[in-house]
Amino acid sequence: MAGIIYFDNAATTRVDPQVARVVQGAMLENFGNPSSPHTLGLEAERWVRQARDEVAQALGCASDEVYFTSGGTEADNLAIRGVLQARSRKGKHIVASAIEHAAILETLRLLREAELCDYTLVKPDAKGYISPDAIVNALRDDTVLVTVMAVNNEVGTIQPITEMVRLVKARDKAVYFHTDAVQALGKIPCRVGDLGVDLLSASGHKLAGPKGVGSLYCRDGVLLASQITGGGQEEGLRSGTENVPGIAGFGRAVALAMGYMAERVDRWRQMQERLLALLDAIPDSHIHGEPLANAPHIINIGFRGVRGEVLVHALAGEGLFVSTGSACSSKRASQSHVLAAMEVAPKIAEGSIRISFGPENTLEEVELAAELIKKTVAELRRFQRQ
């Protein structure tokens, strides 16, 4: 990490050394199959059980309500496809926000093309907020699921999930509510009892854990059909030999994130305030959403007269790593669907970048990053005018 400033933590984080040691131990020492009845298998099973307990403690749920997956995308898919299949008698309509992750929106699109579901997308306001009343108004008699992400991955908006759930359940208690909490866990409280949700997705690599592992919280009593069948692991909901190293690392990462959350949030808020003050000096810059009211680790800002992908590459050449938006929907250059839904002017949207903090970032890095951004934006604008 020496010599660079990594401000792309919403895309992925560096694995915490403590987590890496746990992963290595599960690979080299406790390498048994948790389904095996011998000592090595029982020890591997113990590691999986401990990780399940750590995730459950963070979410405030029972351990047997936590199911491990390959990441947030699979968890989102399991929630959507699993509910549709299990609740087909009630209907096949889903309500979602228009600013969901591609794991939600692309899944819904493909399911509708296959005539397996119908869905309604609810647009945000100019700040990125989804109205709870608009969610309720989109419900139909055949609605089986509402899915709204807890924290938007591009602009950081924190959605009023608790209020949404309350209103949805008051209208139709048979409708399940799912939230993608991939950008929320470890940054804001995500206790499922307070949120009221039936399903919640999480991912390891967004909070200093390994890639390729995540979880789905599924409230006891919720009907969900398995999408990966085989040996019956994860109580039959997600077959396949468990990724013990990843799961063990994920559990430790969640425990560490929860232990340090208050301290990190305070530091990230200071970094947000300082960076916003410094970037405000750049002419014709536009902050998207309300950063200081949003998640503490994300800022999204647009610069008129600059192309976001060009700015990202130019900054990377200077050792500063940011992004143009979600890193999870391939490397195609296209306008952000989140900013489009917020009705951000195209000339601003195309010049937007996302800056996201992680556990290792400092105020000193904020100062250096601001200077690099100001210098690079000015240079790119001069080049555009030539």
How do residues 258-298 score in pLDDT, each as one tens digit? Answer: 999 999 999 999 999 999 999 999 999 999 999 999 999 99
Active site residue 190: no
Domain boundaries, the chain: 5-13+261-385, 17-255
Q: What is the pTM of this model?
A: 0.95
User: Which residues have CB under 8 Å from 94's CB, separation 6+?
Assistant: 80, 84, 108, 117, 118, 119, 120, 143, 144, 145, 146, 147
Interval 119-171: pLDDT, tens: 999 999 999 999 999 999 999 999 999 999 999 999 999 999 999 999 999 99
CATH superfamily to which 5-13+261-385 belongs: Aspartate Aminotransferase, domain 1 (3.90.1150.10)
Cα(first)–Cα(last) distance of the chain, in Å? 36
Q: What span, in angstroms and rounded, lies between the C-alpha atoms of 199 and 178?
A: 4
Instruction: Give the pairing of strands 176-180 and 143-147.
Output: parallel
- Name the CA dihedral angle for 202, 75, 158, 355, rounded to a multiple of 10 degrees: 70
pLDDT bucket at 384, cuts 50 / 70 / 90: confident
> Cβ(145)–Cβ(95) under 8 Å?
yes
17-255 domain in CATH 3.40.640.10? yes
| Cα four-point dihedral sign 364, 355, 312, 75 | positive
- The one catalytic residue in 61, 117, 190, 328 is 328
